[in-house]
Amino acid sequence: MFSLPGGKRRGSLQAAFFVIALVLSGCSIQHLAIQSLTDVFENSFEVLNEESDLLLAEQAIASNLKTLEGILRTDPENTRLLFLLTQAYSAYALGFVEDTDPYRAREMYRRGRDYGLRILVRNSAFGDAINGPLEDFERILQTLDEEDLPEVFWTAMGWGGFINLSKDDPEALAQLPRVVAMMRFVLSHNEDYYYGGAHLFFGTWFVSRPRVLGGDPDSSKYHFERCIEIGEGRFLLPYVYYARYYAVQVQDRGLFRELLQKVMAAPSEVMPEQRLVNSISKRKAEMYLNGIDAYF
């Protein structure tokens, strides 16, 4: 019923739905169906976050992504769907693609960002400022409130990931100050959001340049440690990034090893609601440890 080919049949189906919708006085069946499907997907991602089997999770997320996009085609302005896609594309890129295929990961991050922006640009002031001067963009961010924070954070995650993998592209690099501004917004409104995710961003950002070109390893260290603190030491991703970015930048081989070994040794049940990210962290930790000689 949902896989009708050709525009004509679909058109008549939509017309039928329209009639029914009128009969039900504004309450569209399609809308109801999508709403309950969205509920299902939200639960599904919650379950996925608890999954420790990486292969199972990888395949499930990939297929969920395409199904979500399918439903979105029917209801293109559905905020919850757009938000799920924003999160899922970034998570998929970070967890499963980035380390093996950066070109593909870059595209996944870009898609995540674009879905997030579709929500954010509904605020027309934000939409106008997105390509305008940075000061205007920063000013508009000030007018947003905590309700907008999840969209701002996950869009910035996708955007930041995209730029990080586009360092040979001046056009992409020029967008970084906007991501920084969005993450500052998150930090100032709720630094705890997603286990201190904004701190994770700044930890990485402050060592993305050498000191002589404006990098600041001390600030990087502060943000990573704050992120670990917020996750009560149970959310393992900041340890991995702390090692990979900070320890490498200051060439502290001992710290690199210590942080990653801590991740490897952490019990898999340390945070049941985030088994997936922690399993991904462990896999990354193992990979970096094995490749230690490439960094020092």
Partner 1 sequence: MTRLFLTIFFVFLPLEEAIVQQYIVKFATLAPEGSTWLKVMNEYDQVVRRESEGRLGFKIYGNGVQGDEDAVLRKIRIGQLHSGGFTGVGMGRIAPIVRILDSPLLFRNYEEIDYLHEQFDEQFSNAFQEKGYVLLGWAEVGFVYLFTNSPVQRPADLRGVKMWTWEGDPIAEAAFKALGVIPIPLSITDVVTSLQTGLIDGVYASPLAAIGLQWFTRVKYMFDLPLANASGSVLISEKMFDSLPADLQEILLRNGRKYMRKVTTLSRRDNERALETLKRSGIKIFKPASPKALDEYQRIGRTARRLLVGKLFTQEFLTRVEQAVADFHKSAKTEE
Footprint of partner 1 (CB under 8 A)? 132-134, 164-171, 173-174, 176-177, 208-216, 248-251
Name the residue nearer to partner 1 (CB basis): 108 or 248: 248
Name the residue nearer to partner 1 (CB basis): 154 or 205: 205
Closest contact distance (angstroms) between CB of 242 and partner 1 is 15
Closest contact distance (angstroms) between CB of 248 and partner 1 is 6
Name the residue nearer to partner 1 (CB basis): 61 or 165: 165
Phi-psi region at 34: left, alpha or beta (left = phi > 0; alpha = psi -120 to 50): alpha
Closest contact distance (angstroms) between CB of 209 and partner 1 is 7
Closest contact distance (angstroms) between CB of 185 and partner 1 is 16
Name the residue nearer to partner 1 (CB basis): 133 or 267: 133
Name the residue nearer to partner 1 (CB basis): 194 or 206: 206
The three-state (H, E, C) secondary structure of the chain, written as one string: CCCCCCHHHHHHHHHHHHHHHHHCCCCCHHHHHHHHHHHHHHHHHHHHHCCCCHHHHHHHHHHHHHHHHHHHHHCCCCHHHHHHHHHHHHHHHHHHHCCCCHHHHHHHHHHHHHHHHHHHCCCHHHHHHCCCCHHHHHHHHHHCCHHHHHHHHHHHHHHHHHHHCCCCCHHHHCCHHHHHHHHHHHHHHCCCHHHHHHHHHHHHHCCCCCHHHCCCHHHHHHHHHHHHHHCCCCCCHHHHHHHHHHHHHCCCHHHHHHHHHHHHHCCCCCCHHHHHHHHHHHHHHHHHHHCHHHCC
Closest contact distance (angstroms) between CB of 222 and partner 1 is 16
Closest contact distance (angstroms) between CB of 70 and partner 1 is 34
SS3 192: coil
Name the residue nearer to partner 1 (CB basis): 2 or 103: 103
Name the residue nearer to partner 1 (CB basis): 36 or 251: 251
Closest contact distance (angstroms) between CB of 15 and partner 1 is 44
